[in-house]
Amino acid sequence: MAEPKAQMNIDPADVREQMLKIYPPKVARKRAQQIVVNEVDKEENVPEIKANVRTTPGIITQRGCSYAGCKGVVLGPTRDILNLTHGPIGCGFYSWLTRRNQTRPAEGEDNFMPYCFSTDMQDEEIIFGGEKKLAQAIQEAYDNFKPKAIGVFATCPVGLIGDDIHQVCKEMKEKLGINVFGFSCEGYKGVSQSAGHHIANNQLFKHVIGEDNTPDDHPFKVTLLGEYNIGGDAFVLEDIFEKCGIKLKATFSGNSTYEGFATAHTADLNCVMCHRSINYVADMIEKKYGVPWIKVNFIGAEGTAKSLRKIAAYFENDELTAQVEKVIAEELVAVKEVQDDVRSRCEGKLSMLFVGGSRAHHYQDLFNEIGMDTVAAGYEFGHRDDYEGRKVLPDIKIDADSRNIEELTVEADPELYSPRKTEAELKALEEKGLKTKEYGGLMSEMQNQTLVIDDISQHETEKLLEIYKPAIFCAGIKEKYAVQKSGVPLLQLHSYDYGGPFAGFSGAINFYKTVDRMVSSEIWSKLKAPWQINGKPTLEAKMISA
């Protein structure tokens, strides 16, 4: 792999040293393993990175908690499961729609996403236990809304006082005759929201997936796993699937419904977008029901075309292949036109992406398509397989933090297991270039001499900005204003600021235009802070000792 042109005069090893030198020796040793200069060899081997480990206290991290990953990320975008947070009202704020995941209920369908349901625990429940109040809250929610299903989410104090939410859910399920299930996703579990994804996946698998076996004879049925409909992405993808003649049985969990989850196992192929948050579900469905999974990426026009071709290749049907090619050819006309225009202004500019557990990888494709170089990237909470590829899975050691997340033992269902492809068929597909259960990770697709940084700190971010002066920095709301104060525009890749969608072909066009506007405007570098204008501090103070 060639070195990116624009950064030839900067030595990433030196940047790494500069980042590390401020830290005390023990912290520096740990961070040194999480800041890696990328080197990809011919066999696509990459350096080892330390990931999914505790953040050092005192370092400013952008991570969230287990409850955020479970309730917010995975279950948040499902409109007709009533999500009830068991905890104090402070956590209750996050029990409603706090992320830009959108949904489109049909006339008369339930949509609980804009509601905020909480048990509002008080001192009394913290001292004497909150199970009674939880049962009352489930009853009250049922009486008022008559939902198909209720999910209960435990916050930190629930785990500390030992309320058995699962027993309460079981009793209420029997009493009400609807599906009621709980998630032990206390915020302190694991080292980040990633633990919450795992907990969410386990419970969905145990309590919802496989509940509805209604047959469906559509020849091309798939699911989309790890697509959360931020800024309307799922709507774009739903349209593309429909145009291609592919039936989307379920999405986990953008624009999703309970019914979609309950019937997901009847699809013939699972397509995984965000590997980090949902690969567990793909693996478990394969083991229990025999449905293979492939990695897809509908971010970027090329990625979208490639992913559609992968799906068509899997079904081995000429009509489907022809239709997919027709849709790609039609869509690429407008894409190319905008690409060419935008590229004239963006070519050679530098980008950096520090986002979650998958987007820091996927969105690099969009920058490549307009000629921009990603010189540094990393996840907040990705695991080694998200960086280095699934081939490292057997080498990942289970530690104390991952041990407290349940690992389900899954076996083939005696009645419902039906392998959609035989071993020989899968092998034949692999020989044609379609490998199932495969993800190569972020590092093998980044250029040599780029920086890969896990769980980046504020100090390290500042160093990157100071040394590389990138044209754009992609992260979230926590970083946005600090980065913009240094004269670099920040595009929020969690929420898309107020824009999007960025998925599929039309989303790619949106993205190119958004980035063009941001990197071509000089507003952030022209602005001066008040203390930069007259060289004096705007506020003065002195320490007074008692």
Contact between 71 and 85 (Cβ < 8 Å)? yes
When CB distances to ligand CFM are compared, the closest residue is 356
Q: Least separation, in Å, of the C-beta of 357 and ligand CFM? A: 3
The DSSP bridge pattern shows strands 179-183 and 350-354 to be unpaired
403 is catalytic: no
197 is catalytic: yes
Q: Least separation, in Å, of the C-beta of 301 and ligand CFM? A: 19
Residues 6 or more apart in contact with residue 336 via CB below 8 angstroms:
none
**CB closer to ligand CFM, 274 vs 464:** 274
Q: Long-range CB contacts (< 8 A, 24+ apart) of 291-294?
A: 291/265, 291/267, 291/420, 292/420, 292/421, 292/426, 292/436, 292/437, 293/225, 293/269, 293/436, 293/437, 294/269, 294/270, 294/434, 294/435, 294/436, 294/437, 294/438
Q: Least separation, in Å, of the C-beta of 264 and ligand CFM? A: 17
Residue 37 phi, psi dihedral angles, 5° rounding: -85, 120
What letter represents residue 543's amino acid?
M
**CB closer to ligand CFM, 449 vs 457:** 457
**CB closer to ligand CFM, 305 vs 355:** 355
**CB closer to ligand CFM, 66 vs 118:** 66
Residue 291 phi, psi dihedral angles, 5° rounding: -95, 120
Q: Least separation, in Å, of the C-beta of 415 and ligand CFM? A: 32
Residue where the block lists tokens 């800041």: 35
**CB closer to ligand CFM, 229 vs 266:** 229
Q: Least separation, in Å, of the C-beta of 376 and ligand CFM? A: 16
What is the rounded radius of gyration, in angstroms, for the C-alpha atoms of the chain?
24
**CB closer to ligand CFM, 69 vs 260:** 69
Q: Let me know the angle formed at the C-alpha of 72 by 237 and 205, rounded to the nearest 5 degrees.
A: 75
Residue where the block lists tokens 């530690």: 399
Residues 6 or more apart in contact with residue 338 via CB below 8 angstroms:
509, 512, 513
**CB closer to ligand CFM, 196 vs 292:** 196
Contact between 510 and 517 (Cβ < 8 Å)? no
3-class secondary structure, 248: strand
Catalytic residue among 6, 28, 54, 99: 99
Catalytic residue among 16, 63, 68, 169: 68
d(CA 507, CA 318): 28
Catalytic residue among 65, 156, 169, 360: 65
Residues at the contact surface with ligand CFM, assessed by CB under 6 A: 69, 73, 99, 193, 226, 228, 230, 274, 276-277, 355-359, 494
Q: Least separation, in Å, of the C-beta of 281 and ligand CFM? A: 12
3-class secondary structure, 224: strand
Catalytic residue among 79, 100, 197, 384: 197
- DSSP string computed for 193-205: HHHHHHHHHHHHH
Q: Least separation, in Å, of the C-beta of 459 and ligand CFM? A: 21
Q: Which residues does the annotation mark as catalytic?
A: 65, 68, 99, 197
